[in-house]
Structures are given as C-alpha cells and as structure tokens.
Amino acid sequence: MTLTPTPGERLPVAVDGRDFPTNRGGLCRKGWTSTELLGTTDRLTAPLVRRADGRLEPTTWDDALDLIAARITAIQSESGRDAIGVFGGGGLTNEKAYQLGKFARIALRTSRIDYNGRFCMSSAAAAANRAFGVDRGLPFPLSDLDTAETILMLGSNVGDTMPPFVSHLQGARARGGLIVVDPRRSSTAALTSDGGGQHIQPVPGSDLALLLGLIHVVIAESLYDARYVAERTTGFDSLRRSVSLWWPERAEVATGVPAATIRSLARTLAQSSSAYILTGRGVEQHADGTDTATAAINLALLLGLPGRPGSGYGTLTGQGNGQGGREHGQKADQLPGYRRIDDPRAREHVAGVWGVDPSIIPGAGIPAVQLLRSSGRPGGVRALLVHGSNVVVSSPDVQSIRDALGRLDLLVVSDFVLSETAALADVVLPVLQWAEEEGTMTNLEGRVIRRRRAIAPPAGARSELWIMSELARRLEAPGTWDLEPSVVFDELARASEGGIADYSGLSHALLDEGIEAHWPFPAGSTGTPRLFAASFAHPDGRARLVAVRASAPETPRGSDLSLITGRLLSHYQSGAQTRRVAELADAEPELVAQLHPATARARGLADGDLVRLSTPRAAVEARVGLSADIRPDTVFLPFHYPGADSANLLTSERLDPISSMPEFKHAVVTAEKVV
C-alpha cells in the first residue's frame, strides 16, 4: 500500500538506521525526526501566484507555468538571455541537479546559473583542483579513518553537524591522536579530553598562519617525506621560500598558539605511521579560504599522506548532496562530469548527448553572490528561479540579498514549504520531499547512493523534473526532457563519460544491486574508492605544492569581539526544515550568543540577558549563553534563524578572490547589553 500524506497528518512511517559503512546504523537527531516533515501542516500542495494586492494565492499548474514561460520570454526579448538567472541547491538529487544545469543552458540559454554549494564547498574544491587536479571531498572511504593513529581536524565540528561521523574518530581518540583546531571547545573538541588528544584554540581567522607555521617546522626540521615530494609533487622550492618567515614564534604572535605546541604538532604528524588531515567550513569560509585549504594540502603532501595506505587528506562536505550537486552542471563554470564549460571538447561531448549544437551552450556565468547581487541591476538578472535554497537566510550580508531580490521583475521559488525566500516570490511551485522521489545522491566519499521513494507525494506537488520538462516545452527548447529519474540518470552518465567525475558505468539498476560505487566509475570498471595511489589527476601525474601567503585578518580593537558562526546539533542550514519539527525547534528555540563568562562580566551581561551584536551593516539581538569553552575575544552565533535573528545580517560581504566563497566565519562586532 502506498501512503499519501495530507498536510498536518502524522504518517505511520519511521526512519531506521541502516547498517552502512559511513553511519553504521546511526543517525543524528535531524535524521531520526525527519519523518515529521512529511506531514507538516504548512506543506505546499498547489502553486501560488502573487496577485496585485500583494497576496500569494493558489492557482493551477498550467496557469503558473504559462505565466512563468511568458514572463521569461518577454524579459529575454527585452534584455537578452542572461537576464534570467537560476540558483540551485546542494540538496537536489544528482538527476535534478543535472537537469537544472541542462535547463539553464539549452532551455533558457543563460549563463547565469550557480548554486548554494558556492557558500559551502567552493574554497575546498578550488584548492583540491589546483593541487590534485580533482575535487572529491574524501579521496578515500570514510572507514579508512578507523585505524588512524593521528587525525588533525581543522574547522569542523562533526559532533554536532554529522554525529555518526564521530565513530570513525574513536580509533585515533583511543590512541590519544585526535587533534582538533577550533576557537571553541566544541563537542568535537571535547572528544580530545581525558587523553583522547589535543584541542588547539587559535585566534579566529588565523588558521592559515598556523598551517604556515607547521609547514615551516616540517621543512626546517627535515620532517617531510623527501622521496614522496621529489617523485610525486612539484613546487617544493617555491613553497620552502614562501614559509621561510613563518617560524613558530612568529606564528604564535599571529595565532595565539604557543610555538612549542606548533613544533610538537608538526613532529607528531610527521612521526605518525597513519595520519589524516581533514578540513571543514571553519577554515574555508574566509576571504583566504582557498589558500588555507591549500596550505592544509601542502602540509599533507609534504608528509606524503595523499595516496598512502592508511593516511590521507580530505575535506568534509556540508550538504546532503554537496558533492554530487557540484559535479553535473549547477556550478557557473561547469558542465556534467565536472567538465569545464570553456573546454571545446567538453562542450562538444555534452552537446552531443543533449542533441544540440555546441555553439548554443553559453559560456561561464558568475558566482552565487555576484549573481544574487546583480538582481534588478543594469546588466544583471531581472528574473531568478530558485531551487532547493533559502537564500534570504543563508547568504552573506543577507540584507543586501533581500534588497536585491526585491528589485527583481520575477522571482520563482520551488519548495515544499513557504520558506523565507518563497514568501518573497512572485510564483511558488510545490515540489517533492526526500521520501517521495527516486534518484541518487553522492556523499563526501564520492559514493553514489540510491534514494528510493517510500511514500506518495500529496496531490498537487510535482517533481522538479516535471516542472523543467513542462517549462522546456513551453519555451520550445531543444533536446529531450524525461520525467523518469532512472532515464535522466542514464543521460547524466553519458554526459559525464570521460570527465573527471565519470559516472558512465553506473545506472539505477546497477546501484539497486547494492554495489559500492565511488566515482570515477567508467563503463566496465568497478569504481575508484581510493584516489591518488599511483598518480594525481594533472597531466604529469604529480600534485602541485602551491605557495600561499597569509595576510592579517580583521581583528577586534578595544572591546570589540570576533564573531564566528556555525551549526547546532538540532538544526540544519537555514532551518527551513528543522524549525518545523517540534522536537528540534523546542531544543533550540531561539538565537543564543555564546560568550565567555569574563567577556560577559566586562559588559555587565549575565546568562540569559539580551545582547546586541553590531557591525556597520546591521545589529542582531540574542540571548546570552555563558560558556568557558569559547575564547574570551570571540562570540559564536548559529546561522539557522530567519528575519531579524539571522546571523548573516552581520557576516561580511568579503569574498575569496579565487573561489568567491563568502567570509561567513569571521566578522568584528561590538557587544552591548540590551536594556
């Protein structure tokens, strides 16, 4: 029997942990409660259109899609193809992400497409691509971490963000080899207590200086793997010169980490028979995030870790399909298979799969923040289609993005609830939830995983595949627009063939057999669980040691504080889903600013008081939560809350010049009591 929920109905379905290599049957609180969303009372079941009086009112699918197609056609006739923008999401299945990129390029013929992965993985991806020639979050199975002697984690709090991941840290923890770098004593850093390892609390924004100090020690004390460096890398001499000024005492001044600790950490990593270096958003979501991730890779390469059995480097993907979502065409400069859109051979191959002339595929677009900011500006987009993203909560300097969306002639949002972004839309299209659709996702190991439909969607909700097919027909787009996810996946596989992320040997039928499927998985292969064993993905087979330089971050003056942002155990991303689950909302019902007791006392603040955090851009009020687990010069805010409680009202507009990653993780704020 197929179950079909109605809004507000509590379905007799449950989620259970599966014996799987990554989570071993474990789920986080968000996973255990995920079925609550399937019957949420505010589920959208009909398209909504904004009327002249400003209200959103239900309409038919035909009327909504006819309106969208007519407005798109008129806008492009007046202002050109690039007047239409598309903003995707890292939560879309591979099939929908692929089809969205195809839809933008040959139905809309616009270059203006990017996605929220730009806010998440772009710096790590840029660093991996230039160092290794390929970007896969973990180039090894997650279970390889189980036997590690030493694990260095920089800027990641998996204890709250991915609790099942913690089981893979227990081996290193039992050996006293878990080392966590974080300005807060997070739940992950707390694992290092009682002999489990070491917690290092640097000055916020100084991770690059810390890594340069470690590299200096590794080179100065000849702790690096000279044979590996000579045979498998290029750029050593340039790197050596670039870190010559970063002796540990200088790094101590920049980071607050004692020089003796820096030396000890470098020696520990070098002497470990099995070591891993892992990075996360805490070190990557900065204006120097690509260079910081690059420095972490440089350290790993000097120690000979990538490709060595029992060792490695990796970065932790932050969204449900953050890996697969960036491989098949949502990103501004990419085509399916992680191909560059400016590569003539890639364009010819993909055009052949799509059945179009390569000349109609537009060139590279602009990254996410620039795309959003261009809304309603001369030369910018006049219409924006948003899929799987809540940009008015998740964007940096978010008030500027709210203002930008208000300048649009047409905002279309596809969602299953009226998110904060959907509430601003001219047209809202109700789509499917995770349990209502077939498809695939790709996890942080590059493992392609089947998603199977468990329940029927409510009447009126539609898949994005159907929506794109209907719009493509109305826009008289070339090519085929299939509705069946397995058929779309087969097309994706053909389009990716020969690319970096080659899925050509995969299909839904093969995945249904339960095989391990790590890309690249070309036809006739058994996949690639571990990369770099013999060579890297550059033409000469060598990795690149890339010299980077640290600049002084913006630091607090006087009584100002460094603001850092992050996630809570009970919430996810913009909170659009988790704030609708009573158990999760009740666990973390309001915005709380974590402050050190000494910091609060100096400002006349007590636990539970209201504090106003301000920058020249905006001010946010939050409840005070006292904790000695944070540095006295730092304040922490979660970014899950909407409206006036959005931490991203305070975050900087600065971008990484290489990846266009926003600087989410560091801003300077004043803190004062609300009286």
**415 and 279 within one domain:** no
Same domain flag for 268 and 354: no
Spatial distance between the Cα atoms of 200 and 209, rounded to a whole number of angstroms: 14
Supply the pLDDT for residue 327.
92
Nearest to 467 by CA among 90, 100, 101, 110: 100
Q: What is the CATH number of the domain that holds 442?
A: 3.40.50.740
Alpha-helical (H) ranges within 36-132 are 61-79, 94-102, 122-132
Same domain (yes/no): 238, 383: no
Q: Encoding tokens for residue 158?
A: 């998996």
Say which CATH number the domain at 659 has.
2.40.40.20
Altogether, the residues listed in the chain come to a count of 675
pLDDT at residue 1 in the model: 38
Predicted structure pTM score? 0.95
The pLDDT value recorded for residue 384 is 98
CA distance 580 to 577: 5
Instruction: For residue 4, name the pLDDT band (cuts at 50, 70, 90).
Output: low
Query: 473 and 422 in one domain?
Result: yes
Q: Does residue 556 have a pLDDT over 90? A: no
The reply to whether 47 and 77 lie within a common domain is: yes
**Higher-confidence residue: 517 or 555?**
517
**Residue 35 falls inside a structural domain:** no
* Residue 648 domain-assigned (yes or no): yes
Both 285 and 333 in one domain: the answer is no
Q: Do 81 and 58 fall into the same domain?
A: yes
* Per-residue pLDDT at 81 exceeds 70: yes
Q: Say whether pLDDT at 126 is over 90.
A: yes
Q: Is the pLDDT of residue 11 over 80?
A: no
Percent of the chain exceeding pLDDT 90 equals 85
Tally of domains in the chain: 3
pLDDT number for residue 578:
85
How do residues 198-210 score in pLDDT, each as one tens digit? Answer: 999 999 999 999 9
62 and 196 fall within a common domain: no
Confidence of residue 233 (pLDDT cuts 50, 70, 90): very high
Residue 30 pLDDT greater than 90, yes or no? no
pLDDT band at 586 (very low <50, low <70, confident <90, very high): confident
Please report which helix (H) or strand (E) contains residue 179, including its range.
Answer: strand 178-181
| Domain residue limits at 286 | 122-315
Same domain, 134 and 69: no
Neighbours of 124 (CB within 10 A): 32
Q: Which of 248-252, 328-332, 442-446, 573-577 has the lowest mean pLDDT?
A: 573-577
Mean pLDDT of 90-105: 96
pLDDT, tens digit, 9 for 90 and up, residues 272-297: 999 999 999 999 999 999 999 999 99
Given 298, 315, 332, the domain boundary residue is 315
In a domain, 551, yes or no: no
Residues 459 and 599 both lie in one domain: no
| In a shared domain, residues 372 and 422 | yes
d(C-alpha 535, C-alpha 231), whole Å: 10
Q: Cβ of 11: how many Cβ atoms within 10 Å?
A: 16
Name the E strands within 219-373. Answer: 233-234, 275-279, 312-315, 334-335, 339-340
- Report the CATH number at residue 243: 3.40.228.10
Asked, for residue 311, whether it belongs to a domain, the answer is yes
| CA distances for 436 relative to 340, 451, 482, 552, 596, angstroms | 33, 10, 18, 49, 45
Mean pLDDT of 116-132: 94
Query: Is 414 a residue whose pLDDT tops 50?
Result: yes
**Co-location of 307 and 366 in the same domain:** no
Judge whether 549 lies within some domain. Answer: no
Name the least confident of 464-468, 638-642, 667-671. 638-642
Mean pLDDT (whole number) for 641-646: 93
Average pLDDT score over residue span 357-374? 97
